[in-house]
Chain A
Amino acid sequence: MEAPKKQNRALVYAGRAIQAAIFVAINYVIFFITPRFFFIHTGLLTAEIEAAISSYFLMIASLTILHLLLKDHIIGLASAVGLAIVEALYLYVITNGGVLTLSYGGYTLTLTFKPLLYLMMALPLVNMVKQIVEYIGRSSAQHIEMVEVEEW
């Protein structure tokens, strides 16, 4: 009975690993390629911004993997909470609080998009609250294991 159980668990983790890989790839596009592309083409890419993008992406990727692999564990929940906070913080830091200034020659263009930024930040934060509520709700659900009955 132990062998199929282990096999089942391995299958579950393999599935989660694939899911994590997909999510890391999506996050790579959203949190690494897109901002780098934007900052390179607007001439705003500095060493500090590049370092911030890389370090935040590394944090996002590792927290995504942890959250997806350890879904039913408290570490998974902690990772989900951390991931949401890091994502929201990343959006705030990388957009300079919703105020971006582009300069070209003697001309300056300042973009202010605070309401949009808050809307973007709300998504991971609401998701974080959802994860916490679900985790608390899950603890009240009983995990019942049926006893094998032999019929005569």
Chain B
Amino acid sequence: MAGVLRVEKPLTSRGFRLLTLGLGITLLLTLTTLAYSAYENATYLLEGFRVGEGMPQLNVNGTHLTVSNLTLSNRGVYPLSVALRGWVMIGDVDLGSASTGEIMIPPKTQKQINLILPINLTKACTDYNLLKAILFNKTVAAFKVKVDFGFQPFIAASFEGGFSSRVGAALDGLTFRLRSVEPLNETHVKADIETEFTNRSPIPVSGVLHASLPSARQRNLQYTAAPIEVFAQPSQHYLTHLTFTLPKGELESGAWYVLQLRFETFGHVYEWISAFRV
């Protein structure tokens, strides 16, 4: 007959068993309540999107981007923290950013969130290459939004997204057209070149346009038109005239001529050439 003497488990061992059990239950309860809170809030948010309730209104004007009337409700069991941040960029230039800061929504309550984002378009004008792109080409403005939310203190999530908006060229459809050639006196004529463009950018175009016409007959000779002060508000169609005084016979019918152009704006100088037909 053989046997083993049974000894009662020590207190520390029992303590550890209780601790493990407690941790397990805590983890399980936390996961369950978090899942419940996430489910409740997600369902409410999706339902709101479906019926259009609590949806934010987005307004963009020349100076501000406003996200308003975003209504968030916390149907979970943990306090919901929300922080909304937004910024606008053209190319690599940050035109403006704003944040709501951390907003705490206690369980079973709701809050309305507004975000006003100032857009500083003059920042885009300080960059030579960016301004060049805005003046002559279509660019893309990126609106980025970051939403930080979480159930304090267990889980935090950060959602980042945004949308892009095409920005038209400031000197969109810039064309030069010979309108008329009128005799000025016995030796000279007055050539009137019509210049037009539409400002499709959000930036007002303001600058001085210089134009010169190289002589087709004589090398190193250029005729210069009086500089024109250009000012065009966003969406404005701009029309002006460049007036050249030329010797008779300088312009031949059916020939192409090259205009040398220089545009001084926001402290930068842009030079290019453009052709017109007589």
What is the interface of chain A, defined by CB distance below 8 A to chain B? Answer: 106-113, 115-116, 119-120, 122-123, 126-127, 129-130, 133-134, 137, 141-146, 148-149
Contacts and interface: CB of A to CB of B under 8 A. Distances in A.
Given A116-B27, A134-B13, A145-B2, 7 more contacts: A111-B156, A112-B156, A113-B156, A122-B23, A123-B20, A134-B16, A137-B13
B163 to A, nearest CB: 8
Given A111-B155, A112-B155, A141-B7, A130 B160 contact: no
Contacts of A141: 5, 7
B13 A143 contact: no
A112 B23 contact: no
Interface residues of B, number: 32
B221 interface: no
Contact of B158 (A110, A122, A142): A110
A122 B19 CA distance: 10
B30 A109 contact: no
Nearest to B8: A141
A108 B16 CA distance: 41
Interface string B40-51: 000000000000
B162 interface: yes
Contact of B16 (A107, A109, A130, A149): A130
A113 B20 CA distance: 21
B10 A137 contact: yes
Interface of B: 1-5, 7, 9-10, 12-13, 16-17, 19-20, 23-24, 26-27, 30-31, 34, 150, 153-162
Contact of B1 (A113, A116, A134, A146): A146
Contacts of A143: 4-5
Contacts of A129: 16
A141 B17 CA distance: 19
28 contacts: A107-B161, A109-B157, A109-B158, A111-B155, A111-B157, A112-B157, A112-B158, A113-B155, A115-B153, A119-B23, A119-B30, A120-B27, A123-B20, A123-B23, A123-B27, A127-B16, A127-B20, A130-B13, A130-B19, A133-B10, A133-B16, A137-B12, A144-B3, A144-B4, A144-B5, A148-B1, A148-B2, A149-B1
Contacts, number: 85
A123 B158 contact: no
A58 to B, nearest CB: 25
A143 B7 CA distance: 10
A116 B160 contact: no
B20 A130 contact: yes
B127 to A, nearest CB: 24
B23 A107 contact: no
B155 A126 contact: no
A119 B23 CA distance: 7
Given A116-B154, A123-B24, A107 B13 contact: no
A116 B5 CA distance: 42
Contacts of B19: 126, 130
A108 B161 contact: yes
B30 A130 contact: no
Contacts of A146: 1-3
Closest 7 CB pairs of A and B: A130-B16, A107-B161, A110-B158, A141-B7, A112-B156, A108-B160, A144-B5
A122 B16 CA distance: 12
B93 to A, nearest CB: 20
A119 B26 contact: yes
A144 B157 CA distance: 59
Contacts of A107: 159-161
Contacts of A127: 16, 20
Contacts of B161: 106-108
Contacts of A148: 1-2
